[in-house]
Structure formats: C-alpha cells, structure tokens
Structure 1
Amino acid sequence: MHVPDGFLDAPVSVATGAVAAAAVAVSLRGARRELAGAAAYHGAERTAPLAGLVAAFVFAVQMLNFPVGAGTSGHLMGGALAAILVGPYTGVLALSVVLLMQALLFADGGLTALGTNITLIGVVTVVTSYAVFRALVRVLPRRRGSVTAASFVSALLSVPAAAAVFTGLYALGGTAEVSLGKVLTAMLGVHTLIGVGEALITTATVGAVLAVRPDLVYAARGTARPLVLRSGPVATPGSGPVPQAVTTSTTAEPAVPPVPAARPASARKVWAGGLAATLLCAGVVSFYASAAPDGLERVAGEYGISSREEEHGLAGSPLADYGIASITDERLSGGLAGVIGAGTTLAAGTGVLVVVRRRRNAAATAGGSAGRAGSGAGRTPAGNA
C-alpha cells in the first residue's frame, strides 16, 4: 500500500507529513526505553543490530508480492511483525527507515507522499496491531501458543485498518472524484485477504524466533510462568505410607535431579540466520514474486484514482523499480538490487538505533553523575560543622 505522488492533495500530504514527523519524534524517545530494556535480556551491544535486522527483513519480505486472487497481489506491511519483535516505538522507527530507503533508492512510494506512507504503514499498522496484541495476551493463557495466536489476529487486523485510514484521507483530500463508499468496500475487501498473508508471515516469523530465543521477542516477555520446584517426603521401602502434604519451594532439593535446560541459541547465531534469510528473500525469492498489481493499485485503477498519479521525482535513479539499469539480466538485476536495498536498510536502521541507544546511555550517565555531584555538595565536612 505504497501511496504514490498525486493521489492526495497538498494540505492532506502536509498534514500526514506532520503526523509522521511527530510519530518519529515520539518513537525516538520511546525506543530508548525499549532498547534499554532489551539490553537487560541479551546485551546492550546487540540490541540495535537486532532491531536493524528487523528493518532489513521487513524490506526484503515486502519485495515478495503474493497473489490474493482476481489478478491482485499483496505484500507484507510489517507493522505487527516489527512491534511484536522489537517494540512499538522501535517498530515505528524501523518501518520509517524501510519506507525512506524505498522512496529514495527505488522510487517506491511518492516523495510528497512519504509522510502518508509512514503514517499508514509505519504508524497505523503498528498502533493497531500492538493494541490488539496486548489486549489478547491479557485474556489468553500465559503460554507461548497465545503469543503466536495474538500475533496472527493482530497482523490480520492491522492491514484493513490501514486501508480504512487511507480511504478516510482520500475523503479529505483525494484528487479524483470517486464513490468513497465503493472505494472503502473494495479496499477493505482486498486488504482483508492481504491481511491473511500478513498474518501467516508474521506468525511464522514470530514463532521461529520464539522457538530458539523467546527472550528476543519484545512482546513475549513476561508471558511465561516462573519455574517452581516442588519437594516432599520421599518413599523408601518399608517406610510406610507417604504423607500427602507437599511443600513448594524454590530452594529445596528436588527428589529427582532435574534435567538441565537446553542452552538457548546465541543471539549472534540468530542474527546470522536472520541475515541469511533476509538476503535469500531479497536476492533470490523476490524474483518469483507476483507481478500482479497490489491491493491499492488494483482499486486505484478500477475507480480512476490512478489517473491522478504523478511520476516519482527519482524515477530515473539507478535502482528504480527494484532493478539495476545497467544490467540486462532481469534475475541478476533484481537480485542485486534487492541485496543492495536490504544491506542499505540494515546499515541505516542499525545506525539510527545505535545513536538512539547511545543517547539513552549518555543521558543516564549524565544523570548519575549529576546526582552524585549533588549528593557530595550537600555534605558538610565534620570540621566545619
């Protein structure tokens, strides 16, 4: 659902740009807390690279358009996936980096519509999915299966939510005369089908990470019940009946030695595996993506909205339309462009989040130093009392 230039008038484009800028500003502050909390789980130096990898993975999977019927395709938006894996604030930043890279490098999504795309794909999907996810995990049993179930539902609902918001924006500032009721019905219908694909991809990815390192899933923290060891009298031959009372303790020795828990996979190995999957999707699997128009393109073409589309300002860039202009082999051109895009998104996303995390650490250090200085200044030497 990358909105091109020309679909919305200037006032609405400016307004959505302001919303996007405000959301990014708020997310910069919120992401500091999320990254600081993640550092307690798997090390401060690994939080930003893992979040940057999520941005690169979303970029790569967005290249994989899948058919949804009637000559229409869809692709992952990634709001639910990012929010569940790295947190809602960090997720907004990650998706904003993805959309910026797509607009500047690949002429995908308009330049004047960048704020609109960040609002729809980077804010609406994140806020909707995370709100639904948190509501569901509050009422579902506290176990891993509940996380995957909540991931499915939240991802499914986030896509038609973005479609509905786009229709509302078009009602305010659309540049073509259309039947808004019919557009809304068409947008919700096709994007509900796309939402099913979004939900499947999100659930599969979240489930894979849960299987190897559940502590790396931001939204899953605190859903597992703590381990409680039970101990009691142990029966021996001829000792008579065993009392029925059983005590619960976290320090008592169990009657049977416990089986050692499997050592969790290294975060570095998870990062390497995620990077390999990202490059595979961007460089190889993307060649087999559906060439059919996506949901927004299909509806825009059917109802005359596409007649107002303006040419992208960077349409002549070397990587426009996810290909390298100087390479004639389509498979090689698209694969290299995808790898370049994924690598650039990884570098940009990691860089932004490293700066965010370091600013948090610097602020915490400065606050601690000020507190110690103030405490020292308040003490009076005994000889001067």
Structure 2
Amino acid sequence: MHVPDGFIDAPTSAVTGVIAAGALAVSLRGARRELGGTSRASEFERGGEKTAPLAGLVAAFIFAVQMLNFPVAAGTSGHLLGGALAAILVGPYTGVLCVSVVLLMQGVLFADGGLTALGVNITDMAIVTTVVSYAVFRGLLALLPNGRRSVTVASFVAALLSVPAAAVAFTLIYAIGGTTDVSIGKVATAMIGVHVLIGIGEAVITALTVGAVIAVRPDLVHGARGLQQGLKLRVNGELVDAPAVAAAPVAARTSRRTLWITGLVASLVLAGFVSFYASASPDGLEKVAHDKGIDKKAGKHASEDSPLAGYGIRDVSDARLSGGLAGVIGVGVTVVAGSAVFWALRRRRGADVSPANPGL
C-alpha cells in the first residue's frame, strides 16, 4: 500500500507530513517507556529492557516479509503492513517507529513509496495500522480468557482489521487531496474490498509470528506482558506470593541472543531467497490505482536512480541474484538503522534516571 508521488497533492502531503512528525515525536517518548527507558514506567511497562534489543530485528523482519507479495485475487497481490505485528511484539509506540524505519528505508533506497508521500505512508501504514490494531488487541484481551492462546487469537483479529482500516484512511486522504477526479465511492469500494482479503494474509502472518515468539519467550512479547501471573505458594494453609526467582543472567542473555540470531537469519532467508518466488502481480493499491485511474498523475520517484531501486541491484543481470542481494542489503540496513534508533532511546534512560534527575 505504498503511496507513490503524485497521488496526493502537495498541501495534503504537507499536512500528513506534520501529522506523521508529531506522531513520531510522541512515539519516541512513548517508546522510551515501553523499552524500560524511564523510572516512571508502569509495572506493565517494566521489563522493556528485554525487548529493546528485538525492536530493530522486528523492523528488519517486517521489511523482509513485505517483500513476499502473496496472491489475493485474480491479478492482485498483497503484502504485510506490519503495524499489528510490531505493536504486539514490542509495543504500539515502538511499533510506529519500527514501521516508519521500514518505510524510510524503502522510500530512500528502493524507490518504493514516494518521498513527498512519506508523511502519507507513515500516517496510513505506521500510525493507523498500529493504533487500530493495538486498540482492538487490548479490547479483545479484556474479553477473552487469560492465556497465551487468547494473545494469538487477538493478534489475528487485530491484524485482520488493521488492513481495511488503512484502506479507509487512504480513501479519506485521497478524498481530501487526490490529484485525479475519480469517484470516492468507487475508490472506497475497491480499496476496502481488496484489502479485506489482504487482511487475511496479514492476520495469518501476524498470528503465526506472535505465536512462535510466545512459544519460546512469552516474556519478550509486549502484548502478553500483562498476562503473566505470579506464582503462589501455600504457607501454613494460606496462599502467598512466591518470591521472584531471578533467571540466570547468562542463560537469559544467551536465549535472547539465540532468538535474535534466529530472527535475523529468517529475515535474510525470506528477503534473499524466498522473495524470488513472491507474486509479481500488483498489490492492492497499485491494482485499484490502475483500474480507477488514480495513477494518471503519478510522478517520477526521486530515488529511481538508486542502485537498489525496484529491489534489485543495478548492473547485476541475474534476476534471482539481483533481487536476493538487494533483499539482504535491505534487511541489513534496516536492522542497523532500527537498532541505532532503539539503542539511542535506551541510552537516554541513563540520563533520565541518573542521580541528578531521580524524578524523571
């Protein structure tokens, strides 16, 4: 659903850019709490230091899976948006940052999604999907039985609804600042219809990924953190809270490292090899834009001369090798950029909780 340059007029693009910038500023502050970066973090938010190293990996994984377009209808494909997955794994504020890092890398390096439309894409694909999915996720957890299975079920439904929500958001933005004269009713019907189908794929990928992480390290899943219950012991006929048992530092560190390496290898394999077999059909927005004439004023991408434009390496004639190398480079750049952002946020913790600032 990457919006190219030229679909939305300059004033509307500028407004969405301001909205995106404001949301990112709020997310930076919120992510510090989710990652254990302030002393005022709630009990629910504490423990974020365990997920902080994984946030950059989540961004890289989303980049990799977005390369795997899957068929959803005749001549149409879809791909993961990732807002629900990121929000549930590392928190909604951190999730917005994860998807935004992916969109920035895609726009600058791979000419995927217009640079003048970056604010539109962040608003639509990072903010809307994350906010909607996490609200649905939390609402469902309040109704479902307390357990890991409920987290997976809620993840599925939240991801499913986040995609048509993004389609609705694009339609509203297009209604305000679309550059072509196309019936909004037709755009809405086509966009929502195809993205409901894409949402099913999003839901399956999200639920499988969340379920896999919960199976090995439930304490690292932000969305499952509030479900953990303390152990009770019976002492003199009364139930009392058992003292917390500190996990062995080396073992815990090794376990997180193993998970991180496994996730990185999976991302590299998906982007470097499996992506070659992805559907070549246009995605939902591209298909609707072509069929309804939205793309008549699509502009030249500012990064179309990038050596990685189109997810291939210029001057490498073998398509499999070109696409695979581009995917590997994309995963590497994204994990480095994402990790740098979240490392910087974690570093701010030291300043905030230093003896000179004990109340922050």
Both structures adopt the same fold (TM-score exceeding 0.5) = yes
1:281 equivalenced with 2:270 (yes/no): yes
1:69 and 2:56 equivalent? Answer: no
CA contact (8 A) 2:30 2:93 kept: yes
Partners of 2:35 and 2:47 within 8 A in 1: no
Does the 8 Å CA contact 2:56/2:335 hold for their aligned counterparts? yes
Q: 2:127 corresponds to which residue?
A: 123
Amino acid of the structure 2 residue aligned with 1:88: P
Q: Which deviates the most, 344-353 or 215-224?
A: 215-224
SS at 1:297 equivalent: helix
| Cα distance in 2 for residues equivalent to 1:29 and 1:39 | 13
Q: What residue identity is the alignment partner of 2:356?
A: S
Q: What secondary structure, in the 3-state scheme, does the structure 2 residue paired with 1:266 have?
A: helix
Distance 2:350 2:32 in 1: 9
User: 2:29: which partner in 1?
Assistant: 29
State the shift of 1:360 in Å. 2.5
Structure 1 residue 362, shift from structure 2 partner: 1.2
- Which of 232, 236, 239 is the aligned partner of 1:249? 239
Deviation at 1:357, TM superposition (A): 1.3
What residue number does 1:208 align with?
212
Worse-matched range after superposition: 78-87 or 177-186: 177-186
**Structure 2 residue aligned with 1:96:** 100
Q: What residue in structure 2 maps to residue 168 of structure 1?
A: 172
What is the CA–CA distance in structure 2 between the aligned matches of 1:4 and 1:61, rounded to whole Å? 20
Q: How does 1:72-83 map to 2 (within 5 A)?
A: 72-83=76-87
Q: TM-score, normalised by structure 1?
A: 0.86
Query: Unaligned regions of 5+ residues in structure 1, if any?
Result: 233-246, 253-262, 373-385
State whether structure 2 residue 5 is matched by structure 1 residue 16. no
- Is contact 2:51–2:220 with CA below 8 Å preserved after alignment? no
Query: Which residue in the other structure is 2:288 paired with?
Result: 299
Residue in 2 that maps onto 1:346 = 335
Determine if contact 1:39/1:47 at 8 Å carries over to the other structure: no
8 Å Cα contact 2:33/2:45 also seen in 1: no
Distance 1:370 1:180 in 2: 53
Identity percentage of aligned residues:
64
SS at match of 2:356: helix
Q: Distance in 1 between matches of 2:67 and 2:241?
A: 52
Counterparts of 2:325 and 2:110 in 1: how far apart (Å)?
Answer: 13
Partner of 2:58: 54
CA distance in 2, matches of 1:311, 1:251: 63
Runs of 5+ consecutive residues of structure 2 not aligned to the other structure? 243-250
Q: Using a 3 Å threshold, how does the CA distance of structure 1 residues 370 and 10 change in structure 2: closer, same or farther?
A: closer
Q: Contact between 2:352 and 2:358, CA under 8 Å: does it hold in 1?
A: no
Does residue 1:360 correspond to 2:353, yes or no? no
TM-score in terms of structure 2 length: 0.92
Please tell me the residue identity of whatever aligns with 1:272: I
Q: Deviations over 1:245-295 (max 9, x none)?
A: xx443489xxxxxxxxxx878111111111111101110110000000000
Bigger Rg over Cα: 1
Tell me the amino acid that sits aligned with residue 335 of structure 2: L
Alpha-carbon distance change, 310 to 49 in structure 1, aligned in 2, over 3 angstroms? same
C-alpha separation in 2, matches of 1:371 and 1:272: 36
Paired residue for 1:190, among 189, 194, 201? 194
The structure-2 alpha-carbon separation of the partners of 1:91 and 1:251, relative to structure 1 and needing over 3 Å to count, comes to: closer
Distance 1:47 1:149 in 2: 22
CA contact (8 A) 1:142 1:225 kept: no
Match of 2:255 among 266, 269, 273: 266
Q: Is the 8 A contact 2:351 2:357 kept in 1?
A: no
Report the Cα distance in structure 2 between the residues aligned to 1:76 and 1:370, rounded to whole angstroms: 42
Distance in 2 separating the partners of 1:71 and 1:33: 44
- Give me the whole-angstrom Cα distance separating, in 2, the residues matched to 1:122 and 1:64: 18
**Cα drift, residue 226 of structure 1:** 3.1
Partner secondary structure for residue 249 of structure 1:
strand
SS in 2 for 1:225: coil
* C-alpha RMSD of matched pairs (Å): 1.9
Deviations 1:125-145 (A, max 9, x none): 000000000111011111111
Q: Distance in 2 between matches of 1:65 and 1:72?
A: 9
- Give the Cα separation in 2 of the matches to 1:369 and 1:141: 44
